[in-house]
């Protein structure tokens, strides 16, 4: 019997985890990884966290998976489902029996500024930022913007932030916590222009809607990503703000799976469709997809977590962290240590563990409870 041929489109953490998942069950089937990156797979979180705190750059490389044919700096251009082949931008064709789309996403861009702006996502973006001068302007006050601004300030740069929301991470944090974090950044020397937006960017400055002119040696944008679904769309797969997958991580074609940032799935626990762009989701979903490709019976029920470091503040979070939901705060020390619960219709849908550690699994268990949840004070240890 011929060995099963595995093809992975993507070369990030999800693709790497999938190759590991395949190898756990199939030590010999040929694996080809088609990656648009010029580098082998690496961990992305250190680019905005640990590398700025002294961790060496070579620590980002992920361990090599046995017998994987890595084709770097290749972009998949077409998918022929009938012939079971993917063609790349060099005109080469790659056959498969099982295909994984781990195509991730593309940074959202501003309609001006061009290459003057670093849309922070890759190792090469990190290297460019490391070489840049002292004055940095960060566009965006969400997950990536908050991390990059803190990292640059820790590195001794003069940092300005500009974003349209009222406070840092205002879409995720309750209003009082967002206000505290914004003030905290200002105490750390970061110039924060909340409620403002850039209108022009050059190689040396950013002009804002309010009329401010911010001098800059480097401009960094963290505006989120758009899922990279072009290949799937053109092949006729179901796409809806991501590639739609079932509980087995299969697309509308059972021989094609999708995982990581690009996959849109139904969460049994949260009772809604999600697309998650964080490390835990990439690694856990990627490994499960690889196992499924190799023939295992799998079911995706995981509730991904994510985490961040903001100067000497840190948090872990599970579920829906959305400031539009009802929130209940249980502080041990206000804004310094505690737990925030996010509720919809009386049920906990998200948990923010603020400088509180070792409670992620307990938070997941709480999300799975039927509710309603009435008295949450002390529900999780602070």
CATH top class, domain 312-368: alpha beta
Q: Where does 114-221 sit in CATH, by number?
A: 3.50.50.60
Q: Given this model, what pLDDT does residue 161 score?
A: 98
Q: Do domains 114-221 and 312-368 have the same CATH topology?
A: no
For residue range 199-215, what is the model confidence (pLDDT) as tens digits? 999 989 999 999 999 99
- Report domain extents, the chain: 6-106+226-293, 114-221, 312-368
Query: Would you identify the CATH topology of the domain 6-106+226-293?
Result: FAD/NAD(P)-binding domain (3.50.50)
HEC letters along the chain: CCCCCEEEECCCHHHHHHHHHHHHHCCCCCEEEECCCCCCCECCHHHHCHHHHCCCHHHHECCCCCCEEEECCCCEEEEECCCCEEEECCCCEEECCEEEECCCEEECCCCCCHHHEEECCCHHHHHHHHHCCCEEEEECCCHHHHHHHHHHHHCCCEEEEEECCCCCCCCCCCHHHHHHHHHHHHHCCCEEEECCCEEEECCCEEEECCCCEEECCEEEECCCEEECCHHHHHCCCCECCCEECCCCCECCCCCEEECHHHEEEEECCCCEEECCCCHHHHHHHHHHHHHHHCCCCCCCCCCCEEEEEECCEEEEEEECCCCCCEEEEEEEECCCEEEEEEEECCEEEEEEEECCCCCHHHHHHHHHCCCCCCCCCCCCCC
pLDDT, tens digit, 9 for 90 and up, residues 156-181: 999 999 999 999 999 999 999 999 99
Instruction: Note the pTM of the prediction, 2 decimals.
Output: 0.96
Low-confidence residues in the chain, pLDDT < 70: 1, 382
Q: What is the model's pLDDT at position 1? A: 56
């Amino acid at each position: 019997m011929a060995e099963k041929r595995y093809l992975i489109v993507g070369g990030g953490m999800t693709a790497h985890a999938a190759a590991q998942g395949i190898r756990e069950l199939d030590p010999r089937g040929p694996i080809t990884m088609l990656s648009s990156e010029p580098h082998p797979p690496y961990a992305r979180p250190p680019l905005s966290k640990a590398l700025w705190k002294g961790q060496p750059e070579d620590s980002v490389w992920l361990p090599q998976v046995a017998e994987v044919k890595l084709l770097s700096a290749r972009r998949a251009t077409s998918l022929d489902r009938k012939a079971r082949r993917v063609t790349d931008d060099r005109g080469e064709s790659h056959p498969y029996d099982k295909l994984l789309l781990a195509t991730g996403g593309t940074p959202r861009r501003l309609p001006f500024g061009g290459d003057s702006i670093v849309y922070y996502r890759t190792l090469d973006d990190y290297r460019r930022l490391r070489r840049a001068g002292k004055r940095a302007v960060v566009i965006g006050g969400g997950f990536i913007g908050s991390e990059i601004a803190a990292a640059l300030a820790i590195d001794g740069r003069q940092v300005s932030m500009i974003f349209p929301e009222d406070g840092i991470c205002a879409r995720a944090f309750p209003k009082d916590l967002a206000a505290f974090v914004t003030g905290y950044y200002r105490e750390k020397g970061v110039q924060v222009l909340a409620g403002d937006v850039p209108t022009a960017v050059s190689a040396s400055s950013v002009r804002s809607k309010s009329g401010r002119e911010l001098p800059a040696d480097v401009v960094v944008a963290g505006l989120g990503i758009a899922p990279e679904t072009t290949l799937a769309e053109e092949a006729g797969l179901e796409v809806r703000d991501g590639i739609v997958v079932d509980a087995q991580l299969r697309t509308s074609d059972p021989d094609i799976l999708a995982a990581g940032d690009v996959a849109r799935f139904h969460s049994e626990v949260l009772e809604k469709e999600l697309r998650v762009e964080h490390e835990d989701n990439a690694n856990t979903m990627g490994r499960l997809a690889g196992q499924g490709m190799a023939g295992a019976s799998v079911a995706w029920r995981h509730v991904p977590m994510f985490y961040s470091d903001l100067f000497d503040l840190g948090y872990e979070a599970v579920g829906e962290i959305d400031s539009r939901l009802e929130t209940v705060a249980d502080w041990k020390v206000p804004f310094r240590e505690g737990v925030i619960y996010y509720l919809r219709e009386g049920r906990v849908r998200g948990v923010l563990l603020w400088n509180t550690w070792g409670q992620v699994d307990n938070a997941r268990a709480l999300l799975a409870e039927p509710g309603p949840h009435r008295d949450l004070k002390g529900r999780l240890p602070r």
